[in-house]
Amino acid sequence: MSTSPPRRRRSAVIAAALACALVAGLVVPATVAGGDNATTIYFDPHESEANAGETITVDLVASTHGDYVGDGIDELSVDLEYDSDLLTVTDVEHGLMLAEGSNDAEVNGATDFDEDGAVSIEQEREPSGDGAVATETAATITVEVAEDAPSTETDLEITDSEAMLISEYPQASIERDGSIEIDGDSSDGADDSIPAGTPLVALVAVGGTLLFLCRRR
C-alpha cells in the first residue's frame, strides 16, 4: 500500500503550521509593542506635607513614549477628586508637556472646578504636528488646606484620564494618585489638657499615702 498521500498531507499541515507560526511571530510582537506603550500620569511630589491653613502646589506630570511608530499625543484630559472638607484646589496652571518637541506648538487648556471636590482638566496641542513625546509637567495645581483640618493623610485621586494620539486613537493610561499628610491645628488647647491617665495616678498616690499613715499609727 502506498503511503505517499498521507505523507504529503502531513507535510502540507506542517508547512501551514510553520507559516502560521511565522505570521504570529511577526504580528504579535507588533501588537504587543503597541499595547505596551502608555501615558503615565502622576503627582510630583507623590507624597506632600502641609500644615492646617497652608497653601501648597503639586505638579501633575504626564509621561509618554508615543505609540509603536513614535507618534505622540496631542490631547490630554484628567479628572481629579479630593476631600473638600480638608482641601480646596484653588488654581490650575497648564504646563507645557503637550507642547514638547516643537517650538511652534502651544497648549490650549481649560479647567472646570466643582465645589464638592472635583476638578476636570482638558488640554490640546496646536498644531498637532508629531504630537508630544516627553515626561513633563502637564499642570501645576494649587491646593489650600482647611484651617480646621485635623492631623491626617488625604488623597489627591485621579479618577479618570485620557491621552489621545495624533492618529485620533486613545493611548492606554496609567494613573498614580498622590497624597497630602496634614499636620493639624493644635491651637484648641489640647496641649494644656490633663492627660487621660492623670486621675488614676492621683488616686493611687493618695491611696498609698493614706495606707502609709495608717500603718504608722
Grid cell for residue 16: 501551514
Domain boundaries, the chain: 32-186
> Residue 115's pLDDT is what?
87
Mean pLDDT of the chain: 81
The secondary structure of 52-93, three-state, reads CCCEEEEEEEEECCCCCCCCCEEEEEEEEECCCCCEEEEEEE
- Whether the predicted model's global pTM rises above the 0.85 cut: no
For residues 77 and 123, what is the distance between their CA atoms, to the nearest angstrom? 6
- Whether the predicted pLDDT of 6 surpasses 90: no
Q: Which CATH architecture has domain 32-186?
A: Sandwich (2.60)
> Residue 104's pLDDT is what?
95
Model confidence pLDDT, tens digit, residues 107-123 = 999 999 998 999 999 99
167 contacts: CB under 8 Å, gap ≥ 6: 67, 71
- Whether the predicted pLDDT of 188 surpasses 70: no
pLDDT band, very low/low/confident/very high, at 216 (cuts 50, 70, 90): low
Model confidence pLDDT, tens digit, residues 127-154 = 999 999 999 999 999 999 999 999 999 9
* Contact present, 58 and 24 (Cβ < 8 Å): no
- Whether the predicted pLDDT of 87 surpasses 60: yes
63 contacts: CB under 8 Å, gap ≥ 6: 39, 40, 41, 42, 134, 135, 136
For residues 198 and 202, what is the distance between their CA atoms, to the nearest angstrom? 6
